[in-house]
Chain A
Amino acid sequence: MSCREFIRSFRRARGAHLLAGLLFLGAVGCGGGGSTSGGSQPPSPAPTEPAPTPSGPTAWIWDLPPGFPVPLVPAENPMSEEKFQLGRHLFYEKKLSVTEDTSCSTCHEQNRAFTDGRPRAIGATGEVHPRNAQGLANIAYAPTLTWNNPNETRLANQLLTPLFGEDPVELGLSGLEDLLFERLRAEALYQELFAAAFPDEVDPFTIENLAFAIEVFELALISGRSPYDRYIYGGDEDALSEGAKRGMDHFFSENLDCTHCHGGSNFASALNHEGNQSDSTPFENNGLYNIGGTGNYPADNQGLYEFTGRERDKGRMKPPSLRNICVTDPYMHDGSLTTLEEVIDHYERGGTRIDSGPLAGDGRDSPNKSDFITGFLLSRQGKVDVVEFLCSLTDDEFLANPRFSDPFASAAD
C-alpha cells in the first residue's frame, strides 16, 4: 500500500498497534530512511521499568503519550531526573548570557511551544539572527536539528552554537567560559544541582556537563496529547470538530501532498527513535524565493547550499514538525509568512512571488524547488478547515506543563 493509504488506515485503527505502525513507517521510508547510520551514538536499551541504582541519579521514566516510541538517547548521556532538573534550570538561567538578561528560554518560550513569536530571533546584544527560532517539542525525534546545517544532529553539540557563537551573537559567551562557571559556582542552587546530576565527579562544573544537562531537558520535551492525538490514539471521536476532520482529510490527501515533508506521527520529514535511526538529512526548497529567476535565496540564507556548495541545494531548509504549529507563528525559516492562511496560500500557488525590490522573483518557477511543491486547488472553506486541523495539533498540556516551566518564575500556586 502507499504511504498515504497506510496513514489513512492507521488513523482509523484508533490506537491499535501503533508502535508497530510507526516502526513500519520507518521501514517503508515514510518517516525517513530505514537503515541505521553509523554517524551517531548507539541507542541506549529500552527501559521496560526503571533500573534500580544503588546510589546516584534517579532512573528516568519516560511518560510517553500513547503511540509514541522511546526516543534515542546518546549512550554517553543517559537520562536522569537530576540531569533533567539541572538542565531545566540552566535552560531558564539568564546567567548563561554575556548580558545576564537572556537565556535559552528567551527565544524558546514554553507557551509558544518553545519558539519566540518573532520572524527572526534576536540575541542578547541585539543582533538579529538570519533565521526563525525553531520549536523544541519532540526535538528528541529529529535526525537533524537546525534549519540548514546537515551536521547538527546532536543536541549537546548544537547548543554550543547559541552559547558561544558570534555570527550572530546569541547568548554571547565566546571566551567567557571561566566567567560563566564563576557565576554558576557562586550559587548554592547550582552547587547542589550539578553535584546531584553528576555525583561521580569531583568538579562537575564543565561545559560538557552543562551541555549534557540541557540536552536531557530538551530530549524530555515530548508533545503528543493534542486533540488530534486524542482522536487518533485515544479513540475520542469528538476530539476533533467536523471542520478539523475535513481539514485532516485535505492535509493527508494526494491533492495537497503535505505529508511528503510533514508526515508521520511528528508531522515532519524523518523520525529517530529506538527502533529506527534515520540516515536521511531532509532539506527541501519550497519555492519561497527565486531571486531574479536564478534560484537564489537571500544571500545570508541560502540553506543547505551554505554547507554543500551545490547549486541545487540553494534554498533547501529542514521542514519542521507541524505539531503546535498554531502557536509557533510566524512561519518559514525567516518568519516571512505571518499566518497559517498565508502558508496555505503559498503552497496552493506552488511558490511565493515577490513583485518588486531586491528579492523580486517567482518562487514557483525556481529551478531548485522541490518536485513535491506543485500547487493545488482548495476552496475557501477547505483552507479554513485545514487551518482548523493544524490548530488541533496544539498540545495545551505540553504548553502549560509545570515540569517544563520556568523554575525561577514566581510561583502561582
Chain B
Amino acid sequence: MFSIRNFSVVFLTSLLAACGSSSSGPRNVEIDVSAILGGEPFACDRLFDGVGDTDATVDPIDLRLYVSEVELVREDGNAVPVDLTQDGEWQYQNVALLDFENGTGLCGQRGTPETNTTIRGTVPDGNYTAVRFVMGVPETLNHIDAATAPSPLNKTALWWNWNMGYKFIRFDMEVLDGDAISEFRVHIGSTMCEGDMAGEAICANPNRTQVDLVEWSGGRGSILMDLDSIFVGTDVQTNLPDTPPGCMSRPDDGDCGPIFERFGLPFMGSPASEQKVFFPN
C-alpha cells in the first residue's frame, strides 16, 4: 500500500516536474489514478447515488482495469515510454493492472483484499507535461496462454478466454431500483478475434481506449477516472432484452453504444472519438 519511501520519491518527482530542474539518469515516476462514482471516491461496501441518466443508486462489485503503453510527453511533444517496474504482481512488461476493489461488501464476490491504483516505473530525466496510455492489454500479450500467464495476467476474473483475450476493464455494480436489484457490468475487450488460443490472432474490434492527457502535472492523484462519465447517455436500470447485463462488448448489443462512445471506441458504425473517462486531476 502506502510507503514512506514511495511518498518521498513521489514528492521529489512532483517537485522536479514542477520546477523542471534536472538530474542525471533515469528517474522514478509514480502515476496515481483515482476514481469517482456518484461524485465521490470509489469504494466497495457502500452505496452511491446519482449514477447514470436516471440518477440510480448502485453498490459496486468490481473495478479493475489494465493500462499499457504508458508514456510521458515532453514540452517539445516527444513521447517517452515509461519503463514499468517489473514487480511480479501488478506490472508485467508494459502492462499494469489497476485494482480499485478491496474485496469488501459485494466486492467479496470475486475480488481481492489487495488494491493497486498507482503506475510505477522510470523515465529518462526531463520536463514532462503530458501523459498518455492505453486502457487495455497490448496485442502482444492479449492472446497468451492465460493458464500460465504471469501476474497480473493470471486473474481469472479478468480472463475472457472465449474471446481469446482479457477483459480490459471490469466494472460491475449492483443497481437498486425500488425493491428490484439488477446487475450492470462494463466489460470491454477485443472482439471478433480469429486465430488460435495461446497464439496469434487478428481482432476486428481491438477496443483499446487511447488516453492523452495534456496539462498533466504529475504528483499524487494525478489522473482521475470519472466513472460517472461512462454512463452519460445510459440508464443503468435497464438493459436491452436478450443481451448481457450492461455492456460486455458484444458487437450487436445496443447497450454498448453510449458506453463505447464515452471510451472513444468505435461501435456499430459510429467512429472512434476522443475518450471522456480519464482526466488530469
Contact = CB atoms under 8 A, between A and B. Distances in A.
A208 B148 contact: yes
Interface string A139-157: 0000000000111111011
B147 A211 contact: yes
Chain A contact surface mostly: loop
Interface stretch (A172-180, A253-261, A380-388): A172-180
A35 interface: no
A151 B157 contact: no
B147 A151 contact: no
Interface in B155-210: 155-157, 159, 161-162, 164, 192-199, 201, 204
Interface stretch (B19-27, B213-221, B228-236, B244-252): B244-252
B146 A307 contact: no
Contact of A175 (B111, B145, B194, B243): B111
Nearest to B201: A151
Interface string B137-158: 0000000011110000011110
A58 interface: no
A63 interface: no
Contact of A164 (B148, B161, B193, B199): B161
A167 B250 CA distance: 11
Given A151-B193, A151-B194, A309-B204, A161 B157 contact: no
Contact of A177 (B111, B156, B242): B156
Contacts of B197: 151-154, 157-158
Contacts of A309: 192, 204, 251
B46 interface: no
Contacts, number: 80
Interface residues of B, number: 32
Nearest to A302: B252
Interface in A200-236: 206-208, 211
Contacts of B146: 160
Nearest to A206: B147
Nearest to A154: B197
A47 interface: no
Interface in A281-308: 298-300, 307-308
Contacts of B112: 175
B74 interface: no
A40 interface: yes
Contacts of B194: 150-151, 307-308
Interface in B245-262: 248, 251-252
Given A151-B164, A161-B161, A173 B147 contact: no
Contacts of A167: 244, 248
Given A157-B197, A174-B110, A300 B161 contact: no
A39 interface: yes
A412 to B, nearest CB: 36
Given A161-B162, A309-B251, A175 B242 contact: no
A299 B161 contact: no
B228 to A, nearest CB: 24
A78 interface: no
Contacts of B193: 151, 307
Contacts of A163: 156
A175 B147 contact: no
Given A161-B162, A300-B242, A151 B156 contact: no
A353 to B, nearest CB: 22
B109 interface: yes
Nearest to A179: B110
A56 interface: no
A199 interface: no
Contacts of A161: 161-162
Contacts of A153: 196-197
Contacts of A175: 109-112, 155-157
Contact of B156 (A149, A176, A307): A176
A76 B161 CA distance: 20
Contacts of B196: 39-40, 151, 153-154
Contacts of B110: 174-176
Contacts of B201: 151
Interface string B31-75: 000000000000000000000000000000000000000000000
Given A164-B156, A174-B156, 20 more contacts: A39-B195, A39-B196, A151-B193, A153-B196, A154-B197, A154-B198, A157-B197, A160-B146, A167-B244, A167-B248, A174-B110, A175-B109, A175-B157, A177-B156, A206-B147, A207-B156, A208-B145, A208-B148, A298-B242, A307-B193
10 contacts: A39-B196, A151-B194, A151-B195, A151-B197, A160-B146, A173-B156, A175-B109, A299-B252, A309-B192, A309-B204
Interface of A: 39-40, 149-154, 156-158, 160-161, 163-165, 167, 173-177, 206-208, 211, 298-300, 307-309
